[in-house]
Each structure stands twice: as structure tokens, then as C-alpha cells.
Structure 1
């Protein structure tokens, strides 16, 4: 059965926030908090699973497996980062089919050269706009109901005008949602939203190039939704570092700051209640 939650939210024309999930703990916590749409971030899923940078090193097979695991773990609809589509037009076709088969609600494709780089780091290079438009056409033809997000990384090399021209070409190619990566000012953000009738998303990457405006301001500017790919990862890294410093320097294994999540609650969140019920049913709860 097709998951329509993302389409339904877009139809309301009310801004919404989509947290990034870097691992299955983040996906589980997002469920607990009540987010019904999450973002499978290429940067942070790569970092958490392989300890590698988001530089095109991890390929299709690894990433589709990670997205499938997120989808199995989370109750939310999943927007999935698919980088460049992992190659040429045939690869894009295969990637779209594979992502949709594991339950992804929207696939994000970008116009960087392969191997790609994180959108908020230097030395990015983009392919010809027509080549990317062809990728979008292939993606739209290959999908059954999944939404196609067209991202451009042209702001760094072609400025705002190049970004607008590319987004226009990708919209005409059939993209459902437009993604201008690494805009550098509120003025640029307003210009993009004023130019297009299609939904436009904004990437609020902590420490990135785009101003981290409040959701109320992003809504007023005209964005359909925002993704927050790095939030859970950087908060978790900071908390882990603080806790480990206390353990190293003071032998404290039960710190008050940052607070430790309740273990029993966490066991329940990840499914141990079912395990315990199974043990009781089959006489293994001695």
C-alpha cells in the first residue's frame, strides 16, 4: 500500500520539519517524539555505518540496504538521499526502482559529478544541466508513486542565477520537489521560493552555509518543508563526548549532564517488550 503521508502534508501547504536519522536509534527516537516523516541522510548514515565521509565512497547496494533498515525500523514515511543516482541513466533507473521497492516515499537526486561531495563542503563540481534533466526524466518514468526530489549544487560554481536556471530545467523534466542546496542568504532563499510553484525544500545543516532560520521564518519565506540532516548526529556526538570525558577524568558512569536516557524505556522502544512476552509464552522467562 502506497504511503501518502508526504503527499498529504505537501497538499496542506503548511511548512513542516523533517529530522535526519543517522542510525536506528535516531529513527526510533524520532518515532517516540512523533515525527511521521524522516530523512535518510547520506552523509550521516555513511558516517554512522562506515565511519567514512560523504564523498561518493559508499555505493548503491550499501545505501539501499541502509534505507531498507531505516524503513523497517521506523513507522515514519522516508525521504531518502540517493546522491547522484550512483552513475548514469541506467543506474538512476535501477536506483529508483530499488529505493521504491524498500518503501521509500521520496528519492533525492543531485546534479554533482560522481563521486559527489557533501553539499556544504568545497570543491563540488556539477554535471551539465541537460544531463541532470535527463536523470530526472528517467527517475520519473521509473517510479510508480514515489516522489522525485531534484537537488542542485550549482550555487557554489554558478551562483544564484545558475541555480534558478537548473531548477527550472529540472521542474520541466518532471521533478515533484525542488532542492536548492547551500543557499547563502535569506534573500536568495526568498528568490528561489518566489520563482517556482513547485514545493521547495530547505536544508538546515548545522554548521553549513544556509542561514539556520527558525521554522516560522522558513514558512513565511515560502518553503514547503525543511530537512535537518545533522541535528541528531551532532547533538548525539556532543553528548557522547561529554559523557566519555566525565568517565575518563572522573570515573563517572552515570552522569547527570548530559542526562542518561532511561534504560527500561529504551528497551521497550526497540522491542524488548515483545521479546519478554515471547519468553513468558514459551516458558523461557525463568
Structure 2
């Protein structure tokens, strides 16, 4: 009851909590239309990809959902998140801790947070993307929500310019067939067009093995499907919750004769990449890191953005 009362109190004070309350922008998003402050100063972000968008805009949030792994942030974020308060995870937001930060803007995802949208909106203006699969469109919405629409457009354009430079540097290799395989505790997956990595690979122009050249995020497969992973290049990644099960599955699979007999493996063209970058983070920082990974693996001499 005490927390519910505090939410009501926050809602009552909302007009006075907004800096320049009469100076607001109207944002259309996955949950409707919301008035947000022109220049929010205390932003809480409930998705990993939203956090990356804010960092790219130079807006360090006051609070954020923790990374899917890390302590509590992905290694590829470096020290960018120093001093940011953890407000739970993407799937379990700590509303009381969030409210204590007195944010003036909350960013989240309809897919993850639709059920708690009323509670979040009682704390501060709340803007949702639909989900995290399209980081480019999401980047633009996040940027508009903090009064930085032009900067958001510029960041997406910079990513697209990097893609074009990488594609040119790859030459005929840009037409390679590439396979993406992921080990998670108890299950092997291949990733498809609509996954985060699939979007980036499609942007570059890579082809995919038949079973991966489909709409959708991913397909759970058994080891008997390993021959269908054949490609010119393979990128494999492992998600491990800390109990070693994901790593164990990776080890078992890499020892399997079906894996060892893949031409891509025998040619030395199967490469382990970071799960946080290629799958779990799903933000624009991770997308640019993916481009750098691909440039490094292919040995291309191309000048890409350093962020």
C-alpha cells in the first residue's frame, strides 16, 4: 500500500516534476501519444538496446535495466555506465527503485513492459518502442523522445555509411553465405533474418543458408541439423547464465563429428563472437561492434566508426 501511495503521489506531482513543464513535445509511440519534456535530464531505460541509444546520444541514464550478463553491464559498454543505478532486469523491473530516482522520462518496450505501462506512466512520461528487433527505427524514436531527432538520424546515417564502406571493402566476399549459430543452456539455435544479427548481416548483403534465410528470429534445432549450418563463413556465440550449461553445450557440439566435418569448420572459417554484441544487447553500439568484428575476421582494411 505504501508503494501504491507513492505512485499516486508521483502522479499528482508530475506536472511540477517536469523541467519546463509547459515546454513539452508530443511523441507517438507503441502505446499511443505521450507528452515528454523537451530536454529530459533524468532518464531511465528498461531495455539494453535503448540504453545503447542513449549512450550514443550522449545521454547517460540515471537508471537502467541490467545487461543480460555482465557485472552489471556488458563488457562492450566499457565504463560508459559508471554511476548508473540498476532498476532490475528487462523482465523484472523494480518499480520502487525506479520511482526513487524521480525520472522525468522512462523508455521501454511494449513487448517487455506492456503490463506495467500504467505504473510507469504514473511515475514519469513513458515512451515504448514495439520491440528491440529494429534498432534503427528505435534509435530515431528514442532520439525524438529526448529532443535530439536530428542527432538520431545522423547516427543511423553514420551506421549505414559504415555498412556501405564495409561492403565495398569486402568486395566479392560481401556475397558470401554466412551462418549464425547460438548455444544457450539446453538448446542449439540458428538465427534468421529478423534477429538482430540477421538485420545487420542483411544490411551488408550477405546470403544465408536455406534454413536461416527465413522470416523470424531463430529456430531451435538438434545436432542432427548441423549439416544444414554449412556456409562460406560461420559465426557462433554462446549465452551462459553462469552455471556453465551454455558453455558445456558449445564444447559438446564442437566435438561432434558432424560439426568437425563441416567444410566451413575444416577451412578455419567458423569464428566465435561475443554473445552480448551479436545477440543479447541489440543496440546501435552492438551493431557497430558487429561491423568491426566482421571487418577484423575478414581482414579488411576499412575505416569504421570507433563508437
Q: So what's the TM-score if we normalise by structure 1?
A: 0.27
As a proportion of its length, which structure holds more strand? 2
Q: So what's the TM-score if we normalise by structure 2?
A: 0.26
